[in-house]
Amino acid sequence: MSSPRNRKGIVGSVVAVLSSLRLTVLLLSLCMILIFVATLLQVEMGIHEVQLKFFRSWIAWFDIVPGEKRFPIPFPGGMLLGALLLLNLLAAHIRRFKLSWGKAGMLLVHTGIVLMLLGELFTAVLSVESQIRLDEGETSNYSLSPREIELALIGPGENGIETVNAIPFGRLREGASFGFDGFELRVTHFFRNSHIEDERLAGADYDPMRANRGMGVSLAVKGKPRETAMDLRDLTSVFVEIISPDGKSQGRWLLSNALAGVQEFEVNGKTWKMAIRQQRFYHPFSIRLLDFTHERYLGTQIPKNFSSRIRLLNPETGEDRETLIYMNHPLRYGGLTFYQAGFDNNDSTSILQVVRNPAWTMPYVSCAMVGIGLVWIFSQHLIKAFARRRTFAA
């Protein structure tokens, strides 16, 4: 067994390594490389994928041989580099800094940086973004993920209320099966992004599988690379079969978020509906769009301001009020923030960005602490400079 002195020496060595200025320079250099490579790959992969694969991951994989022959190598991701920088900063404080009024400014600056790093960590883990698209006069109590999809299976419930079973995107893959009351749903083909065409116009590059039930009977599907533009999204398509308890197939359906509406099938005298749709986040309140206004600069088509006058309806609290959401003036309600994000359909449709981020105040607090700390440091140096000047003058 190691003695207390040896254990103390080991801890001291670890703290010395973690607090090393060389480690700080190394980590900052790795951050610069990560940002540079990710910026180059942003053109090919898009901002969303780059954020997930490089900045919000522990390990980033770089393909050093571009092309069909992939040769990825591991590289520290943004989460790992951020965690090591956080440990480096805390270890430096433990080893070098002592509490005193003279060091208060530096302590505030470093504490603000720590909060900033923690805020990004909490944002990456806890934040959820979605959108609400509303036509004037329309009411909605849910928002939609702009990129993630789900397979919704809607069945009959008690008292005429339908039950919704949502299968998340992460569980959709070829060969996956899901059991329900009286049948099994099996995924036979899965396309993360796809193009759908009339089978009479489809070429040899389209998948040979066809649906024999539903609205996709005369349609063909082929896979496509992932969309990288911010204003585009993947059109996910799946072929599914409904399997009865005796193992027989009741038919094959083509489901896609490129196809509007739901498709129906019947099992044991009960009608079920299914569809691929954008992932939904339901809220205990509703929003109704009363009026959307889009102002432009005089004589141009350049947007000047756009705003949505909405009515907020919450049956649980009895709340019924109007409010205005416009650029740089979001609505904060129920732990969510609603931003005016865009518009569509000749200014008759408003697009609201909905953000749930429990750590949204941390960047403001951290920036305030860094600012106060810098002012403190500057004022201390200024006071010392005036004191030296008076000493020399005397």
**CA nearest 77: which of 94, 64, 62, 60?**
60
Cβ neighbours around 15 below 10 Å, total: 16
Pair 220, 315 in one domain: no
Half-sphere exposure at residue 342, Cβ-oriented, CA atoms within 13 angstroms:
8
| 3 inside domain | no
| 197 inside domain | yes
Determine the Cα angle at 221 with ends 215 and 224, to 5°.
135
**CA nearest 234: which of 294, 295, 190?**
190
Pair 303, 378 in one domain: no
- Asked whether the beta carbons of 326 and 343 are under 8 A apart, the reply is no
| 60 inside domain | yes
How far apart (Å, rounded) are the C-alpha atoms in residues 238 and 215? 13
Q: What is the pLDDT of residue 70?
A: 65
Q: Which helix (H) or strand (E) holds 50?
A: helix 47-50
Pair 18, 121 in one domain: yes
| 154 inside domain | yes
What is the distance of C-alpha 291 from the center of its chain? Answer: 29
Distances from the Cα of 309 to the Cα of 136, 143, 287, angstroms: 10, 17, 10
How far apart (Å, rounded) are the C-alpha atoms in residues 363 and 170? 31
Q: What is the pLDDT of residue 65?
A: 60
| 245 inside domain | yes
Pair 72, 187 in one domain: no
DSSP state of 46: -
DSSP string, 320-385: EEEEEEETTB-EEETTEEEEEEEEETTTTEEEEEEEE-TTTTHHHHHHHHHHHHHHHHHHHHHHHH
Pair 185, 259 in one domain: yes
- Count structural domains, the chain: 3
| 1 inside domain | no
- Decide: residue 46, CB within 10 A, 0-12 exposed, 13-18 middle, 19+ buried: middle
- Which residue range is the domain that position 112 belongs to? 8-127+362-393
- Asked whether the beta carbons of 178 and 225 are under 8 A apart, the reply is no
- Asked whether the beta carbons of 251 and 194 are under 8 A apart, the reply is no
- Asked whether the beta carbons of 151 and 238 are under 8 A apart, the reply is yes
Report, in angstroms and rounded to the nearest whole number, the Rg of the chain calculated over CA atoms: 28
pTM for the whole thing? 0.76
Pair 156, 202 in one domain: yes
Strand partners, 326: 307, 329
| 103 inside domain | yes
Pair 135, 153 in one domain: no
Determine the Cα angle at 192 with ends 187 and 198, to 5°.
80
Determine the Cα angle at 87 with ends 82 and 93, to 5°.
130
Half-sphere exposure at residue 48, Cβ-oriented, CA atoms within 13 angstroms:
14
Final residue of a structural domain among 261, 281, 301: 281
Final residue of a structural domain among 281, 298, 329: 281
- Which residue type, as a one-letter code, is found at position 343? F
Pair 184, 224 in one domain: yes
Pair 49, 95 in one domain: yes
- Asked whether the beta carbons of 220 and 210 are under 8 A apart, the reply is yes
- Which residue type, as a one-letter code, is found at position 359? A
Final residue of a structural domain among 248, 281, 314: 281
| Parts of the chain with a pLDDT under 70 | 1-9, 11-12, 64-71, 97, 99, 230-231, 394
How far apart (Å, rounded) are the C-alpha atoms in residues 47 and 73? 21
Pair 15, 81 in one domain: yes
Pair 172, 269 in one domain: yes
CATH of the domain at 322: 2.60.98.10
| 188 inside domain | yes
162: tokens are 């339908």
What is the distance of C-alpha 282 from the center of its chain? Answer: 17
Find all residues with CB under 8 Å of 17, minimum gap 6, and list them. Answer: 23
Pair 15, 97 in one domain: yes
How far apart (Å, rounded) are the C-alpha atoms in residues 316 and 169? 31
